[in-house]
């Protein structure tokens, strides 16, 4: 059957055609977007598997075979690829540290999980991080607590992390440029403190800024000797106990102390 279209009908058909084309383009490009998001989601799931496996392997050190599911859920939320340079995005979810410039690194996912886990944070805790770096550890903790405070000694890293976290919508992180050895007096005391650079000793100002019942996780040692991850607990009566957990390797805590 031959159907001839009048001019109006023909224009109508063209209009339908171009609408279809626009719709196709929308469907096509949104499927590219979701393929990208899916890809990172898949890589994030792989990262969580690697963390679970490392937990099994290191259970004797940290006395735990499984990570707190809340910690894994938090790490499943944070887009780690946004915390590294564009050329490292593809490897952002591998279970290893990566360079973030200025001679510093974003910690290995397993280490981030362990440190977060050991802090046993509650939703209304105030937490201090020393060594903001990329802001990744701060973002993971910000998923779990009401407010995160983080100090970074290298100004450009502090500024970049602040912008990055703002851009990603983390409103409950406050970053300051400064020497974290001395803690953050104005915001103290803290329920939990995490130090992400290796110190020669546990900084007394950080112990002072811990609430009774508070916990601190900190790598202690030198660049050339083995560093140990320590868990420092301040009891309700103010007495402090320290437990040695895991051999680790962190960049050094710098500053004038």
Contact residues: ligand SAH, CB under 6 A: 104-107, 130-131, 133-134, 136-137, 151-154, 157, 179-181, 196-197, 251, 253-255
Nearest approach, Cβ of residue 18 and ligand SAH (Å): 48
Nearest approach, Cβ of residue 92 and ligand SAH (Å): 12
Q: Does residue 123 contact residue 70 with C-beta atoms inside 8 Å?
A: no
Nearer CB in complex with ligand SAH: 32/221:
221
Measured distance CA(245)–CA(73) in Å, rounded: 24
Catalytic residue among 4, 18, 29, 107: 107
SS (H, E, C) 152-216: ECCHHHHHHHHHHHHHCCCCCEEEEECCHHHCCHHHCCEEEEEECCEECCCCHHHHHCEEEEEEE
For the purposes of burial, counting CB atoms within 10 Å of the CB of 233, is it exposed (0-12), middle (13-18) or buried (19 or more)?
middle
Nearest approach, Cβ of residue 77 and ligand SAH (Å): 15
Nearer CB in complex with ligand SAH: 131/214:
131
Active site residue 107: yes
Nearest approach, Cβ of residue 12 and ligand SAH (Å): 58
Spell out the residues 6+ positions from residue 255 whose beta carbon is closer than 8 angstroms to its own.
Answer: 153, 179, 180, 181
- DSSP bridge partners of 234: 240
Nearer CB in complex with ligand SAH: 99/213:
99
What length is written for the chain? 257
Distance of CA 65 to the CA centre of its chain: 22
Active site residues: 107
């Amino acid at each position: 059957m031959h159907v001839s279209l009048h001019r109006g009908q023909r224009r109508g058909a063209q209009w339908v055609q171009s609408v279809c084309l626009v719709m196709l383009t929308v469907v096509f490009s949104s499927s590219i977007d979701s393929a990208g998001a899916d890809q990172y989601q898949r890589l994030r799931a792989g990262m969580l598997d690697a963390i679970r496996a490392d937990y099994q392997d290191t259970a004797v050190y940290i006395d735990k075979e499984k990570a707190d599911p809340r910690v894994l859920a938090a790490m499943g939320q944070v887009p780690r690829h946004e915390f590294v340079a564009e050329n490292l995005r593809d490897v952002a979810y591998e279970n290893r540290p990566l360079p973030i410039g200025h001679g510093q690194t974003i910690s290995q996912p397993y280490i981030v999980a362990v440190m977060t886990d050991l802090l046993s944070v509650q939703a209304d805790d105030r937490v201090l991080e020393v060594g903001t770096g990329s802001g990744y550890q701060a973002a993971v903790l910000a998923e779990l607590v009401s407010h995160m405070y983080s100090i970074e000694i290298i100004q450009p890293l502090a500024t970049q992390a602040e912008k990055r976290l703002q851009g990603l919508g983390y409103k409950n992180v406050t970053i300051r440029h400064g020497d974290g050895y001395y803690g953050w007096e104005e915001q103290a005391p803290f329920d939990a403190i995490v130090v992400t650079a290796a110190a020669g000793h546990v900084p007394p100002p950080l112990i002072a800024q811990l609430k009774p019942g508070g916990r601190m996780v900190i790598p202690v040692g030198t660049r050339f000797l083995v560093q140990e991850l320590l868990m420092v607990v301040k009891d309700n009566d103010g007495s402090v106990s320290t437990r040695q957990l895991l051999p680790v390797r962190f960049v050094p805590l710098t500053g004038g102390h």
